Amino acid sequence: MNEKQLRKSYDVILVGAGSIGTPLAFYLSKAGLRVLVIDQNASIGQGSNKKAIGGIRATHSDPAKIRLCMDSLKTFSTWKEEYGDDIEWYQGGYCFVAYHDIEEQKIKNLLRTQKNLGLNISWLDRKDLLEIVPDLNPVELRGGSFSPEDGSASPLLVAHAFYIHAIHQGAEFRFNETVTGLEIKNNRITGVTTNRGSYASEIVVNAAGAWAGQIAALAGIKLPVHPDAHEAAVTEPVAHFLDPMVVDIRMAPGSSNFYFYQHATGQFFFCITPEPKIWGFNTEETSNFLPQVAKRLVNVMPRLNQIRIRRTWRGLYPMTPDGFPIVGWCNEVQGFYLAAGMCGQGFMLGPGVGELVTRNILNQTTTEDESISNYISPYRTFSEQEMLQ
């Protein structure tokens, strides 16, 4: 029997079962499309999704991410009611703290934009901020922004929930399978070949995260997505005492900002942004991370001094030149859709992006979708820099 006869065909093939591919499979299959998801790893979310610490905020600085994450927040916050799965959603808010004039100005400048875009976020002075986060180091604390509608959930449980429901809706997943080629005829995509077979589809979505550049290259497309590495850690669970994600945007030797929060399970998660960035695909843990982050953590929240660290890991931020995602149709190859370069925010963007891509594929794009498409277009100039990454 030849392979062509065996070859299965789908309405949409997704490359990558991570933060973007898994919710997208859910929304596409929910809309009745026949979906195949191919991933090189053994199960969902094994690339960067499981490395995410779980923060979800709509308080960004551009209309596109704000809009997409607001959609995501709606999904996260109502998931349990709607679908019954506990995804450990906790609405504790986000808080950017300022200890110097420079951060205070930076945060306040951003606040104006954010308020104009309709976000529920405000500046709290030192006293008000300490009421919300009583355990902050009060010495020289100026105040900070607080956005109560943001929150957190478990990336692992979210991916699983989307996966299980997608399967029930008929989506197929093929794991341990590497995409080795994209079939293109007359500038139209016709299917995907892997190390184990080939599958037909007129629509292929590149949701390969840090590896999206390699997938795009199979179609001869140069996608400006390059990962850099961030390390994170989780602690033992302790009784709840911290509501919001705390973000400290001060520079320190070896790092720019860092952030931490208390998850619904009582565990603390924290992560640091290395400065200068560490480019590449290496996800091996270094001995620098814990001492580096520990110094910052005990300074911002002395009470964390005695919390026990459980595990540490290193994950990838698929970065674009301007820090904004790349979401949209590829002009050079018809039927090839790019949903990549989430810049470390794939988890919080996932549901919103999944819904947007689904509308694009179903030709149900709204005017609101069109209004944000320029910000995330694959064909923008990539010259703007995001104010707060």
> What residues line the site for other proteins (CB under 8 A)?
41-46, 50, 135, 137, 139, 156-157, 159-160, 175, 235-241, 266, 282, 284-288, 290-291, 293-295, 297-299, 302-313
| CA distance linking residue 274 with residue 23, whole number of Å | 29
CB of 299 to other proteins, least distance (A): 6
**C-beta of 304 vs 326, nearer to other proteins:** 304
Residue found under tokens 């290193």? 314
**Cβ-based nearer residue to other proteins, 108 or 174:** 174
Q: What does the chain come to in residues? A: 389
Q: How far is the CB of 157 from other proteins (least distance, A)?
A: 7
Between CA 35 and CA 30 the distance in angstroms is: 10
* Strand partners for 228: 279, 317
As measured in angstroms, the least distance from the Cβ of 295 to other proteins is 4
By beta-carbon proximity to other proteins, the closer residue of 164 and 200 is 164
Nearer to other proteins, 222 or 311 (CB): 311
| 28 token code pair | 């596409």
Q: Which CB atom, from 67 or from 263, has the smaller least distance to other proteins?
A: 263
CA–CA dist 45, 39 (Å, integer): 9
Least Å distance, CB 326 to other proteins, is 27
Residue environment code for 200-222, b if the CB has 16+ CB neighbours within 10 A, otherwise e: bbebbbbbbbbbbbbbbebbebe
The answer to whether the beta carbons of residues 19 and 347 sit under 8 Å apart is: yes
| Distance, CA of 143 to CA of 24 (rounded, Å) | 39
Identify the burial level of 311 via C-beta atoms within 10 angstroms of its C-beta, where 0-12 means exposed, 13-18 middle and 19 or more buried. exposed
DSSP 323: S
Please, what is the minimum distance in Å from the beta carbon of residue 259 to other proteins? Answer: 15
Q: CA-to-CA distance for 361 and 287, rounded, in angstroms?
A: 45
> Torsion-angle region of residue 105: left (phi > 0), alpha (psi -120 to 50) or beta?
alpha
Cβ nearer to other proteins, comparing 78 with 282: 282
Taking the complex as a whole, how short is the minimal distance between the CB of residue 156 and other proteins, in angstroms? 4
Q: At its nearest, how many Å lie between other proteins and the CB of residue 112?
A: 32
Closer residue to other proteins in complex, CB, 210/327: 210
